[in-house]
Amino acid sequence: MTASKPVMKMPELLVFARLLATGFVGAEVWCVAFILGANFAPTLSDISLWAQIVGMLIGTLICLTYAAKRGALFAAARMVSSFRIDLLIAIGIGIWSNELASPWLDKVHAALKNADPQWAPALFLLLCAVLLSPLIQQYWPKPKRTPPQMFFIADEEIGDEKEDLLASKAQAKSFAETVLASGAHPGLVFGVDGPWGIGKTSFINLAERYWARAEDSTIVCRFEPLRYASEPDLADRLIRDLTAAIQRKVFAPEFRPAASRYSRLIKGKADVSFLGFKLSLEPSQETVDELLDDIDEVLRRIGRRVIIVIDDLDRLDAKTTNNVLFATRRTFKLSQATYVLCYDTEILAGSKEEGSRAREFLEKFVTVKLSLFVDSSSIRDFLRRDWQRAENELGSIPSDTMVKLGAVLNVLADILDSELAAKYLPLVGNFRKVKRFVNAMLLMQIEKSNLGRTDFNKRDLINLVLLHLNYPGLFRRIYAEETEGRCGTFSVRREYEESEFKFKNSADFSTLVVEQEETAGFLLTQLFDITALELSDRSDVDEAVLASRACFNQDSFRNLEGYLKLIVRFATPEPQDTFVLYQEAVERVLKGASIASILTSPDFLLEYAHDQFWRVLVNQSHDFTRTVAEDAIETLIDYLPRYSAIKNDDRGLRQRSIYSLLRLLDRAGWGRTSGRRLPNTAENVIEIAWRIFGEHPYEGKGILQRLVGSDRGVLGWNDLMIFRLQCSADRQGQLYNLHTALIVHQHRDAATAGLVNDLALMGMRGLSQAVFSLFKRTYIDSQRNFLSEVSDAPAEAFLGEATSQIGQQVLMDDQSERDAASLAQRVSSVRSAVKSFVIYQLSNPLPPRGSGVGCGFYDECGAGDGGGIARLMNEYVFGVCFNPDFHEDNVFLFLDHCLSHLSNSFFSGGEEEGFFASKAELPGGLDPKVMGRYWSQHQELIRQLVQHVEARHVITSSYVATYSEDLAGVFAELDKLADEATAVGKESGKLLQTPS
């Protein structure tokens, strides 16, 4: 079979006609301008030459600037690089034609010569106004964009290697090089296969960066059919986008006519109506192959190769997908084109009946397929630390929100490290789904919830949020059945069976799980199934489990309803103008204004304003200079006593400020130099420990000593205990630099990575011993009664400055008796909480279990960890604070302590109701044996003193206990403790008397 002889292509008549007309019209415009200028020239005789030159230069400059901004220089460069001398000749002939046609235009030129000379400046000024209008709009100062109040993680594809969290850079480079090295072959199609959210568009963006380096030989055309899904002819749109992509890079005026002919050929016959007559226009007799040869000839002549990327193919319906594939198939004759399709095979396959046919079709259509996968380790690393690196997106998140959100994300990362990871991957198996989860947590405004001061189980919260995001109908059913005091199908029952209480699911729960999709059923099982929760063979569980798991929603402790309210009834965002106020204040600080001057300004008189200011400031502290960092830390410590300890939502501003101080230390309390920021190595972050303990350059300015200064009173010790507790690594507060500093300060060669509990034990030893040393020197050595000092502390100390003024006004107002009583009750509640919290933190001998290691776990000095601090605290509390030999009123401090540690009847499994005394809870962190011996020694005196005391009561955050109603139960439990202590003492005596 002999090869066909190539046919010479037809001249590009339309291209030459346009350029001929361009030369003709341009010459005529020049002629008209010259005539009008000649008419106007005599009127300029009275104007100096320099003014005329300046005017001409200004006009010329405006024209050149406009031309440059419109890309004229780039277009000229493309035209020059094309070496189309024939087109330049066509323009020259157009100019010559204008000269030849000048006799036909004599009447027009004569009319212009006789026109008013003022036409020239009028047209010149009009031209300047037309050209200056877009220039002025471009350079006019834009109004400063108001920063949004809350930042969420946007689901945007990445465009830079620095944003690559999936380590796709190497794979994208290899793919891009393969596409370039493969050359251009007709019908060569690369497929990029992966599920939604896997990062196909981001992968192509990275590959395109490598293709851009071969710009002299390659043109990339990104076609997004989803944008044109409603258009009837996607083939025409593909040709238009291809034409535009090529003409942006090279000068090829003949390409558009060729592409337009191809588009018309695909469309077929067209109908035109005119004055009621309908005409049918048929395309020329050219074949598709001939037109494609013309287009391919253009591509070969300009020496460029086109890579056509078709993205989001799997988001189209079946008919539209077929249209896109058909349009692509029709262009396979282009030898200079290579195609890259992005899709998910499982989506395109659809139903099982059509799935096999769709797969075979794709195998025939796609020449080379690349499948994308996401490692769960990449998602895990993002959840643990990488999500905080996008500080421009998350810069306005409050510091306590970062702590809480980080703790939740750490648990999700642990889930992806567990054996259940495969079950969770359909829900959080790509970054799109992870970002949705993070945004859902941010939308809840988690810092204003009670999560930080309750026992919410983070795994259950994660499962419920995933249900809320992925199965809203099922979540609505849970909400309808388990709120407003109801107990529905989902929550676990506690039923009495075979002489004991047992946990059971409702009768319909197992059937409901089977009816759900596999993943939805799995989430329900993880949340509510007693077998998965290891409750099926147990009659009772620890109080911590009952108080935290979402499966419990009965009686007085309704956990599930609390979870649902947290997710659904989140607080509304703050007003936008208020946030702008704080953002501008932070900007003034960064420019050199002192923080004290900001906080004392008229706009910051209330605590709420201080709270918002610190929230914004702390989260922009990564790039603080040394001066700003020092000012922020010092001012925040100084302002702590001015803030209220009264609870607002879940805690007062004084407690919230402790969290902000910790974040400041972790982010800005080390490595500050006049130039670049030092790396966070152990040698650099140890500066945080120096600040805390007052060592080296911070000698005499230690944070521990300043928090409990003589001017801070008893609340300073509450601040110190909160500070110490939040430093414990097992609380997962995302304070990595601070934890490292405490560990290295304790031992230079200690490991800073490993099991969290081991890290907490090492890092908290020196801190706990230093804290106890301060307390011992202040109270134990001098025999001062800490509890009585808390009782005698004025209410103003708890209210803070701004709240104290409001409180005094309420107390003086006769018409606000109810408000005054409420305020006094809240002060009493905080007073009780301070007593319990400080004593518990110092005497608690428990190791780290996720809620912080107790100070009493350690010895007073050394590394023995034998609970020496706990023993000394028990001796102090019972020997000084509760000792009636010092003062008879000390017995009331003892009874107040007991009444503030009542048990909830929900956990007892008995017949008690409400809060009641139990020997397990009465000690409140103290040694029950020491308490029993104390009661044996002083019970007669105590019973005698309380005979006529009935009005005294103890107020806690959960209940109010009275002497008249609750002391009887307390005495009964103390008798049990005394009996046990006596029995232990007798047994110990017998052992001592037994001969060895």
Tens digit of each residue's pLDDT (9 = 90 or more) over 719-732: 999 999 988 888 87
pLDDT at 842 over 90: yes
Strand partners for 340? 190, 309
List Cβ neighbours of 561 (8 Å cut-off, separation of 6 or more): 482, 483, 485, 553
Mean pLDDT of 378-406: 63
Q: Which of 871, 592, 862 is nearest to 747 (CA)?
A: 862
In this prediction, residue 131 has a pLDDT band, given cuts at 50, 70 and 90, of confident
User: Is this structure's pTM higher than 0.85?
Assistant: no
**What average pLDDT does this structure show over 27-36?**
79
Checking if the pLDDT of 14 tops 60, the result is: yes
Q: What is the mean pLDDT of residues 528-555?
A: 79
User: What is the average pLDDT value for the chain, to the nearest integer?
Assistant: 78
- 203's tokens: 């992968």
State mean pLDDT over 485-499.
Answer: 82
Question: 991 pLDDT exceeds 90?
Answer: no
| 594 bridge partner residues | none
Judged against a pLDDT cut of 70, whether residue 211 lies above it is answered with yes
What pLDDT is stored for residue 843 in this prediction?
Answer: 92
Question: How far apart are alpha carbons 477 and 463 in whole angstroms?
Answer: 15
Question: Per-residue pLDDT averaged across 608-633, rounded?
Answer: 84
User: What percent of the chain lies above the pLDDT cut of 90?
Assistant: 17
Residue 958's pLDDT is 84
Could you tell me which residue, 894 or 299, shows the higher pLDDT?
Answer: 894
Query: Which tens digit of pLDDT belongs to each residue from 869-911?
Result: 999 999 999 999 999 998 988 999 999 999 998 888 765 555 6
**pLDDT band at 274, cuts 50/70/90?**
very low
Per-residue confidence band for 177, with pLDDT thresholds at 50, 70 and 90:
confident
- Of 713 and 48, which is predicted with more confidence? 713
Give the SS3 label for residue 495. Answer: strand
Over 60: is that where the pLDDT of 990 sits?
no
Region 41-69 average pLDDT? 77
Phi-psi region of 953 (alpha: psi -120 to 50; beta: other; left: phi over 0): beta
Exposed e or buried b for every residue in 200-218, given b needs 16+ CB within 10 A?
bbbbbbbbbbbbeeeeeeb
pLDDT in the model for residue 644:
87
Residue 289 is predicted with a pLDDT of 59
Report the Cα 769 to chain-centroid distance in Å. 37
Mean local confidence (pLDDT), 16-42: 78
pLDDT given for residue 199 in this prediction: 76
pLDDT at 687 over 60: yes
Rounded CA-CA distance 634/698 in Å is: 12
**Does 466 score more than 90 pLDDT?**
yes
pLDDT at 146 over 60: no
List the single range of 238-242, 771-775, 882-886 with lowest mean pLDDT: 238-242
**CB distance 840 to 747 below 8 Å:** no
Query: Which residues have CB under 8 Å from 895's CB, separation 6+?
Result: 942, 946, 963, 967, 970
Query: With bands split at pLDDT 50, 70 and 90, how would you rate the model's confidence at 179?
Result: confident
Binned at pLDDT 50, 70 and 90, residue 984 comes out as: low
Residue 788 φ then ψ, to 5°: -70, -35
